[in-house]
Amino acid sequence: MELEAVKSSYARWAPVYDKTFGIITSGGRRAAVGFINGLNSKSVLEVGVGTGLALPHYRTDLEVTGVDFSTDMLGKARAKVEKQGLKHVKELRQMDARSLDFPDNHFDAVAAMHIVSVVPEPEKVMAEMARVCKPGGKIVITNHFAKEDGAMAVVEKISAPFANLLGWHSDFEMATVLKQPNLKLVEQRPLPPVNMMTFLVLEKIQSN
């Protein structure tokens, strides 16, 4: 999606997100945060933090940084942090994920839940997430990826031209996120509802 479309689409989604798409995708969020909580990590970056639905579920001894391009979505996340007193949330910043304002090798883990089919230039976003992740660190992705056949594949193709209206690309290929030479796939499994979503863990390769 173009950045302008992200802005307008998520300004529309922000007020209703938690009670609509947020519910459908809760399994992915639970799986991703559960995985990160089980790591021996301290610093976590959540890219495309949205309305902050995952934030209350991180271990309270973690330091979580969230970024999102949409100020409307971020506003909802900030309200949750304040209302629920989420002290483990270090900061929430407005940022384009294609150009992350963090040093190289900075975070122990990076989460990208339901964003890779939304962002413009997903390959660039993958490269940025790899850059800011420490060697040996994990990048956890949950997303819907294009199916090869069946009824779902038909629905994806029909809705594909409406990405800017929907707020995501329905026919997004998993291969797009597996191209980074410094990331290796260490886990892949289907997620509810009805295996519509996929859970991926990529590890940043230690360079010699």
Ligand X SMILES: C[S@@+](CC[C@H](N)C(=O)[O-])C[C@H]1O[C@@H](n2cnc3c(N)ncnc32)[C@H](O)[C@@H]1O
The pairing of strands 183-191 and 133-143 is unpaired
Determine contact, residues 65/43, Cβ cutoff 8 Å.
Answer: yes
Q: Is 82 exposed, middle or buried (0-12, 13-18, 19+ CB in 10 A)?
A: exposed
Question: Is the CB of 115 or the CB of 183 nearer to ligand X?
Answer: 115
Report the nearest approach of ligand X to the CB of residue 208 (Å): 32
Q: Which residue is nearest to ligand X (CB)?
A: 50
C-alpha to C-alpha distances, 38 to 59, 90, 109, nearest whole angstrom: 9, 19, 11
User: Which SS3 state, helix, strand or coil, does residue 20 take?
Assistant: coil
Query: If DSSP codes are grouped into helix, strand and coil, which group holds residue 80?
Result: helix
Task: Give least dist CB 18 to ligand X, A.
Answer: 8
Instruction: Answer whether 206's CB lies under 8 Å from 136's CB.
Output: yes
Nearer to ligand X, 10 or 207 (CB): 10
Q: Which residues bind ligand X (CB under 6 A)?
A: 6, 10, 22, 25, 29, 48-50, 53, 67-70, 73, 96-98, 113-115, 118-120, 168
> Looking at beta carbons only, is 120 or 192 nearer to ligand X?
120
Measured from the CB atom, is 19 or 148 closer to ligand X? 19
Shortest separation between residue 119's beta carbon and ligand X, angstroms: 4
Tokens of 45: 């970056």
Nearest approach, Cβ of residue 120 and ligand X (Å): 6
